[in-house]
Amino acid sequence: MATLTILGSGEAFDPQVPNSSLLYQGAQTVLIDCGFAAVQALWRRSRHPEFLDAVLLTHHHADHTFGLPAFLMWLRNDRRRKLTVIGPPNTKQYLTHLFDLAYAPGMDWLKFPLDVIECSPGDPVAFGSINIETALPDHGIPVLSTRWEVEGAPQFAYSGDGKVTPQTRRLFKNSNVLVHECFGMPGREGPVHAHIETVLEVAAESGVKTLVLVHQQNEQRQLISDYAQTQTIFSGQVVLPQGNMTMTVG
């Protein structure tokens, strides 16, 4: 039975909630995004050095990646088997530079193999038994919106950051669970994020059963919650996690 844990649901500068980060546990265990306030949430889940099989980075912003050097340093002496990092184009160069800045001499600290798989939005990725389809949202930089399947059975979909695009709308079709960023109310979402009304419309047209809203702006979280409770756009379950939450996805 596969599960998805919301380790954090906060936006980049949230003073209360850890950065948006997910943990998928099935035949493989994959951390999805590792921001500067997300790695502690992972450690509270497990501190075993062999716990993870892979890390998927949806994009190269600090609140999705800056926890990774600390995590790799913590693993450096006790992990033995390969760790895979999946990300958009230039992830290897980005990670190498980030690690060098954080803890010189960077990758030379590691005693275990690190394999980096780069994926352009729109291209699929296979990792073990997991097939990951991708699409490009509108965030100003390459971002991997993802749809996760195992042997053809949908597990969940995750928007990453960014406004909805025709590509992401197609990607999310017939997913059981959709985790989507929802920065604010209509007109207050900013230029590169989604608002609650559009996200509810996407969930309704995609046929999902459960919509999980993450990456809300702290000042708008209550407004988004109130809107979600009274809306009539999407008839499924709407969840706004503020702490650690686990659900079955496959």
| Domains annotated on the chain, with CATH | 3-244 (3.60.15.10)
pLDDT tens digit sequence for 178-208: 999 999 999 999 999 999 999 999 999 999 9
Per-residue pLDDT, averaged over 61-67, amounts to 98
pLDDT at site 64 = 98
Per-residue pLDDT, averaged over 85-91, amounts to 98
Per-residue pLDDT, averaged over 28-49, amounts to 94
pLDDT at site 89 = 98
- The mean-pLDDT minimum among 13-17, 110-114, 120-124 falls in 13-17
Instruction: For the chain, give the percent of residues with pLDDT over 70.
Output: 100
Alpha carbon 198 to chain centroid distance?
A: 19
In sequence order, what E strands does the chain have?
A: 3-8, 21-25, 29-32, 54-56, 83-87, 114-118, 125-127, 130-135, 145-150, 153-158, 177-181, 210-214, 237-239, 245-248
Per-residue pLDDT, averaged over 30-58, amounts to 95
User: Which of 110, 113, 60, 118 shows the shortest CA–CA distance to 92?
Assistant: 118
Mean of all residue pLDDT scores within the chain: 96
pTM of the model: 0.97
DSSP alpha helices (H): ranges in the chain? 39-45, 62-65, 68-75, 91-102, 166-171, 196-206, 221-230
Q: Is the pLDDT of residue 92 over 90?
A: yes
- Give the pair of three-digit tokens for residue 157: 């979909």
Per-residue pLDDT, averaged over 113-123, amounts to 98
